Every structure is written in structure tokens, then in C-alpha cells.
Amino acid sequence: MSTYGQVVINGKVTDAETGDPIPFASVILQGTSTGNSTDFEGNFTITSNSKADSIEATYIGYIPQTKAIGNEKELTVNFQLRPSDIQMEAFVFEAGENPAFEIIRKAVDKKKQFDKRNLEAYETKNYTKIEIDIDHVSEAFTKRKAVQKVTAVLDSIKQLTNDEGEKILPVFFSETLSSFYFRNNPELKKEVVEKSKVTGVGITDGSTASQITGSAFQEYNFYRNWLVILEKEFVSPIADGWRGFYDYDLLDSVKIGEDSVYALQVYPLREQDLAFSGTIWINKDTYALKQVDLTIPKEANLNFIERIKIQQELTPTQQGALIPSKTRVQVKIGQITPKTAGLLAKFYTAVDSISTGDPKPTSFFNQAVVLKPDFDIVGEDFWNQNRKDPLSNEELAVLQMVDTLKKIPVVRFYSEGLKFLASGYLPIGKLDLGPWPGFFNYNNVEGIRLGAGLRTNSKFSKKWTLMGYAAYGFLDQRWKYEGGITRILDRNRWTTIKLSTQKEIDQVGLEMENLEGNSIFMAASRFGTLRRPFISTNHRLDLKRELFKGLTLYGGLKSNHFDPLYNYYHRDNEGDSELKTEFRTTEAKVGLRYGRDETFIINDNERISLGPSRWPIFALNYAQGFKWLKGEYNYSKLNLSISQKLNMGMLGISRYEAEAGKVFGEVPYPILENHLGNETLFYTSAAFNTMNFNEFASDQYFSIRYRHFFEGFLLNKIPLIRKLKWRAVANANVLFGSASEANKSHAPLIDPEGFALQPFGSLDSTKPYLELGYGVENIFKFFRVDFFHRMTYLDDPETKPFAVKVSAQIIF
């Protein structure tokens, strides 16, 4: 080996399928000991005085690549590595303990020292970039007429392809600059989006997308025992119980910057576990994580997902805790059917200006995501100056292609159509037409029912919302309608006041007000035969105010007229023998709702919950009915509910809803709590699925509905079922309730003409209603079947001790 002068070789190593950089890859001059590792952007520089005729790039999980080099003193060599299905075989240690175990043990012992959650507070400046592409386009998909119209336009633009020559079709690209704030005790987070640029198919207003494309939704902390990804819990390679989930190989001892680190390969003990495989780098001196490059294996029981890859660099703060300085995530979604296409989503976050100090006051975190007033008013020169890294030529081509794609008429038609189906409303300038489920109905009371509605959107006003709809039943020849006006007083601490009036058909126990969020079940229950229908004519005043983060105050006044459309009678409070059919109520309500870590975003003029992370949601409601403004009854209603999602690690996920309530006073049974049964074919978690409609009503009650999703924990043990990716589910629904004799006496057994009536049924306070269920979800990746057994109250011949319910859902 001779010395012939210094040679400088620069280059970049990328993934041949995705075009993304491969950080931490090894690049070495063959026949020498001279080499280097790529940085987080996949770049490398090698300076050598040794002669070599080739250079090689290698990385775990990829096929090595070698390229010839000439005699130039400065040259650029780029590598595109192809992923390999070949897994490195584990080392076999004949005697003694695997040396990697001691390294992991020490890293786990020092977790608390390096976990960023131990900081009292910190702030960062973040740059986030997201790209979503259509890939793996099938031949059948490209032959569709609509697709051919798109490709004909895009053929004039530089085409993006993967290494196999397949076209990649970008559909979304965003860049976000934000400030992220964290405080502990209580743990609170906030992101202020300072600048955002969003372009994509179907994106007309970037304000909603800008709230969820920041770094707050791309946070991965491997110092947690479990990481929640796609609503599933994956065990960290340095979790407290690491020995039960992982095996490790000590690959090498290398230098990264000024730090000497151990490189360890990690892989799950069982391929179906929700765990990672890949490489982690641990500091030799401190046993802190330096870098991670981890993949969720294809064998994990995930729908549609072919690969999730997370790469991360960590930087220590002054206090020692680590904060990810760069994070790259790839999510590859396969074809749903052989005749469709797949998706590739790429997320990149770079962090700088990390500062620690005194925490912001709790009130500062009232809104989890805030958009600066001029967040979307910025030119390209700004982005060129403020991007942490310039866009690559491929990313510039992506931007051009997305801008062209979203203007193609056929693309706009399909994207707007999908939004219409998902939201229920079609934007037409300053108005939204909908909701489409109300355009057509058919039932035994109204016959064919046609309707339509309009509401204003934020283009009309960000302070006022007007809405209204009208519908007509051709059998009952009645008009139904609703009109309302809402004033948004404060968008930061969400504060609204709404005045509305409505005349509509409802069903006892199936009131539309109580079925919000169960649109499929509500639609199914309003077709065909209506159970105990009545005309509800009401006028309402509703107020809402978020007092501080997580705590919302509700209040309102409602006047309602109950006009039955079935054979219904009741006795009034005065105890005379006269039977009445109609009645009026006037009711004042007040309520509190608390979700400690619930996240909200603002979509147009609506506030949408993205749900809590781990804490329960509490709701307390009180209503007072009184003889005023035509009200006929004095009564009180008190209700407390608690709901929570429980992450159980490898055992799966549980959800429960517990509710208790009491009605004080003597009232007709439609005012009582009419427990929701389900006689439809469709499963709903809001109902008792073996209970008939209107079977039971109570003036005091307690219920708990519990569901567990095993996430493959049981069925993964069966080879054939594991291949089908079916997942077991379980249900247990319990209800205690009773009704006083005074309230039972309001419901007569015989009508004025001597015909028998159907009074409400009541529960025995010492005997609970109980149903148990089990089922399988993820059938053909979409469908779920539940089998329910009714365990109590089986004496009535009309009861069904066994029921089968079906549902459809998109889950990962």
C-alpha cells in the first residue's frame, strides 16, 4: 500500500426504494482501514493518503454496494442501497453472559438520569417536514381512466421513481417552523406554529393540516418503557423488562464525534411481538443513548403497514437529560388490494435552540397547538433562509408535482368527493351543503323522507356560524327543521354561545342528542321501523367555556314539547285519573368536563378532540326541570361519567366507560334514563347489544361497559390465524338500576279505550343486567364480528339470549 497524495471523497448513502438518507452507514476504502460513517443526512467525507481502487458502503439490513474509483484527488461517490430480507444471525456464546446484556443493564439503570421527562421544563425551536407519496402503483390501477388523465398531465414533469423503476406520485408536502414547550408536574405540552407551508391533494385551507404537521405529533421517546405508535404500544429496547422481549448482539465499538460508543443490534425474541429490530448506539462512558435506527418488523401484527422505521440522534441538555436533535420516520403502507396502490409517508424533525429553565405557567398550555396569525403568509425566500437543510432536487420535484397534481380537474373531483363523504358536508364558497346522511331516509312513520341543509364556514366568518336544514316526510306529510346561530367569543379558551330551534322526529332512548358520534348506529336505527317515536319541538340556549386546560364548563336552557306518535299515556303529578299524552318540560343544565391530557385542534369553526393519551375523562352534569316557561314538572337529574383507554402493553388495550346517575322527582318515563338497547345488526359500544330498544328505564342507575382488544396476544399463537392477522376482542357490560314506585305509577297499563299499553320495564336493584361478549376483528383487514350472551333477565320470551353483531373499521 503506497502513499501517493491525499484524496478527498465526498458522497451520500440513500435508500434505493425511498430515496431517503441512510445515517450511520459505514463507508470504507477497500483494501485499507480508512473509512467513515455517514451523518444523519447520509453524507460522508473520507480523507486518505492510501491508494484504493474501490469504495464500499454497508449497513445492517441492506445489501452492501461497491463502486470503483479513479485517480482524481477530489471526487463524489453516491450509494443507493437496497433493503435486504436477510437478517444477521445471532452470535452464540459458549460460556458466560452475552456481553451486550451488561451494556443494556447499565443503560436501563441510568434511564431516569437521561429521560427528558425529568426536566422541570424545556423549550425548542423545531423544523418539521412531511412528504406523502403514492407508490407500488399496480398495472390495473394505472389503466383506470381517471388515473390515465392524471399521468398524461404529469408526463411533462420530471418523474420520480424508486430503484425498481416504479413511478412515485407525491400527494402531500409540508414544512413547519414551530416553538415547542414542555413542563413537568403536571406534564403539559404546547406547540406554537410560527410558519407553515402545506400543499397537497384536497388541501384547500392549510390551517387544520398545519396544526397536526408540527413536531408535537412526531415525538418518540425511547426512554419510555412503551412507545405509542398508530395507537399501539411498542416496547422500547431499553425498557425495564428488556430481557423478556429482546435479544442483543454487540456489533462494534466506534467513535461518533467526540464520543466512543457501543453499537448493538437488537431484535425481538418473538417476531410477532410489538417490538423493534435494528441498531442502537450507547455511550461507553455514560451509557446514554447516542443514536437509534430501529424498524418495526413486517412480521408484527399490523394492517397495511409494511415498514415503520425510526432514526434518531440525541443531544444532552445542561442537566444531562437527552432531547432528540434529529428524527426521521418512514411509514410504508402496502396495497389494500392487488389492484390499488400503496403509500409512503416520510417525517423529518430537526431541533435547535434547546433551552431549559423555569416552566411557563399552567395557563400558557391552555391550547395544545396554536397558529400564529400570519403563519401561512411567507415567501419562498424565507424558507430558503430558515430551513435547517436545503431541499434536495427530488424534494423540489415533489413540490412541483404536488402543485400540478392538485389542479387537475379529475383529482379535484375525487378529492373533494372523499372529503364530502368523510365530513358529511360539501363546501360551496362561504357555505357548506349537508350533511349527506340526511338527504334521504325511509321509515314506517315518514315513508320516504328528503332533506337538505346549509351552514356557514370560516370564509363567511370566524366569529359567527349559521346553520339550518329542512326535511319532509311524504307519508306523515310533516315538515321537520332546525335552525341555529353560534357566536364564537374566544378561540383560545374555546368559548361559544348558541341559540337554536328544532322540530324533529326522535325515539325514546334513541334521541339524536345522545347518539352524536355514533353515526352508523344512528342511521341504522332511523331506517325501517321507528321505536316509540315522538315529535320533539324544542328551543335551546347553550353556552360553553374552557376555564383552563382540560376543564370545560357547559350550561344551557331548553324548552321541549313531547308529542308521541305511538300509543303513549301518562298520569300527571296531581294524581287525578286523567291520562295525558303530550307534555312539556323546561330544563336548565350545567356541566363540567375534565380531560387532563386531551388534545384539541380547531377545524374551521369547530373544535375537535384528538382524545387523551393516558388520563381518564370525567364529566359531571346536573339538570333542573321546573314549572316555568310552560314546563309541567319539577325534577332534578345528576349524572357522572368516567371513560379511559388503558394501555396494557403486550396484553393489548382496554377501554371502559362507567356512568352513574339519579333522577329526583316524579316524572313520565321518557324523562327517566331509558337505557340504550340495540336491535340492529350493527355493533356499537354505546349500547347494550342484547337489550331490546326501550326494554328498561331507571331513575337511579350505575353501568360500566368494558372492552378489551388483545391485539394478537392470543391468536398470534395459532399459525394460521397469525397469518390471517385476526385479533381477539372481549366485552363485558353491566347495568344496575331501578325505578321508584311513584315513577312506575305514571305509566298506566290500560289506555282510555281499554287496550293494554306497553309500560316501561324496570330493573331489580339487587340483580344486575349482564352481557358478555367475545369476537374477532381485522377480518379481511376491515370487518369485525362480535358474539354476545345475555346472562340475566331471560324470563321474557321476547328477549334474545344470544346476538351476533358486525361492524367495519380501519385499524392498523
pLDDT tens digits, one per residue of 364-409 = 888 888 888 888 888 888 888 888 778 877 777 787 778 777 777 7
- Which region among 179-183, 257-261, 557-561 has the lowest average model confidence (pLDDT)? 257-261
pTM for the full predicted model: 0.81
Q: How confident is the model at residue 601 (pLDDT cuts 50, 70, 90)?
A: confident
* pLDDT at position 694: 87
Q: Is 723 helix (H, G, I), strand (E, B) or coil?
A: helix
Q: How confident is the model at residue 205 (pLDDT cuts 50, 70, 90)?
A: low
Higher pLDDT, 775 or 35: 775
- Homologous superfamily, domain 3-81: Carboxypeptidase-like, regulatory domain (2.60.40.1120)
Q: DSSP letter at 515?
A: -
* pLDDT at position 577: 63
Give the C-alpha separation, 595 to 235, whole Å: 26
pLDDT over 50 (residue 3): no
pLDDT over 90 for what percent of the chain? 39
* pLDDT at position 383: 86
In 24-36, which positions are buried (b, 16+ CB within 10 angstroms) versus exposed (e)? bbbbbbeeeebbb
Strand partners, 305: 333
Q: What is the CATH number of domain 491-808?
A: 2.40.160
The three cell numbers of residue 745 are 305509577
- Interhelix angle 145-154/393-405, rounded to 10 degrees, is 130
Q: Look-up: residue for cell 452464540?
A: 92
For 471-480, what is the mean pLDDT?
95
Identify the H or E element spanning 742: helix 741-744
Q: Would you say 345 and 230 are in contact if contact means Cβ atoms under 8 Å apart?
A: no
For 716-727, what is the mean pLDDT?
76
* pLDDT at position 108: 95
The three cell numbers of residue 281 are 448506539
The domain locations on the chain are 3-81, 100-413, 430-478, 491-808
For 328-347, what is the mean pLDDT?
79
pLDDT over 60 (residue 161): no
CB atoms within 10 A of CB 380: 9
The three cell numbers of residue 627 are 314549572
Q: How confident is the model at residue 160 (pLDDT cuts 50, 70, 90)?
A: low
Pairing relationship of beta strands 259-268 and 246-256 according to DSSP bridges: antiparallel
- Which region among 99-103, 110-114, 598-602, 747-751 has the lowest average model confidence (pLDDT)? 747-751
* pLDDT at position 4: 54
Nearest to 23 by CA among 46, 49, 43, 50: 43
Give the C-alpha separation, 779 to 716, whole Å: 14
Give the C-alpha separation, 471 to 449, whole Å: 7
Nearest to 614 by CA among 653, 641, 660, 658: 653
For 611-633, what is the mean pLDDT?
91
Sign of CA dihedral 432, 436, 442, 445: negative
Nearest to 645 by CA among 619, 625, 617, 626: 617
pLDDT over 70 (residue 166): no
The three cell numbers of residue 313 are 440522534
Q: How confident is the model at residue 502 (pLDDT cuts 50, 70, 90)?
A: very high
The three cell numbers of residue 683 are 355493533
CA distances to 34, 117, 632, 634 from 627, in Å: 91, 54, 5, 6
127 φ/ψ angles, rounded to the nearest 5 degrees = -120, 125
HSE of 162, CA atoms in CB hemisphere, 13 A: 20
Max distance between CA atoms of the chain, in angstroms, equals: 116
Give the C-alpha separation, 117 to 225, whole Å: 13
Give the C-alpha separation, 164 to 109, whole Å: 45
In one letter, which amino acid is 763? L
pLDDT over 70 for what percent of the chain? 90
Residues 6+ apart with CB under 8 A from 11: 27, 43, 44, 76, 77, 78, 79
For 642-654, what is the mean pLDDT?
87
Please list the alpha-helical segments (H only) found in 155-303: 206-212
Q: Indicate left, alpha or beta for 430 from its phi (over 0: left) and psi (-120 to 50: alpha).
A: alpha
CB atoms within 10 A of CB 293: 22
What does the H/E/C string look like for 389-425? CCCCHHHHHHHHHHHHHCCCHHHHHHHHHHHHHHHCC
The three cell numbers of residue 350 are 430537526
Per-residue pLDDT of 421-458, as tens digits, reads 777 888 898 999 988 888 998 999 999 999 999 999 98
Give the C-alpha separation, 794 to 466, whole Å: 49
pLDDT over 70 (residue 32): yes
The three cell numbers of residue 806 are 358486525
Higher pLDDT, 799 or 620: 620
Give the C-alpha separation, 268 to 296, whole Å: 10
Give the C-alpha separation, 125 to 156, whole Å: 39
Give the C-alpha separation, 746 to 739, whole Å: 11
CA distances to 386, 400, 604, 699, 750 from 745, in Å: 74, 73, 49, 13, 12
Higher pLDDT, 342 or 189: 189
CB atoms within 10 A of CB 422: 9
Give the C-alpha separation, 509 to 185, whole Å: 42
Q: Is 57 helix (H, G, I), strand (E, B) or coil?
A: strand
* pLDDT at position 87: 46
pLDDT over 60 (residue 94): no
Give the C-alpha separation, 41 to 49, whole Å: 26
Q: To the nearest whole number, what is the mean pLDDT of the chain?
A: 85
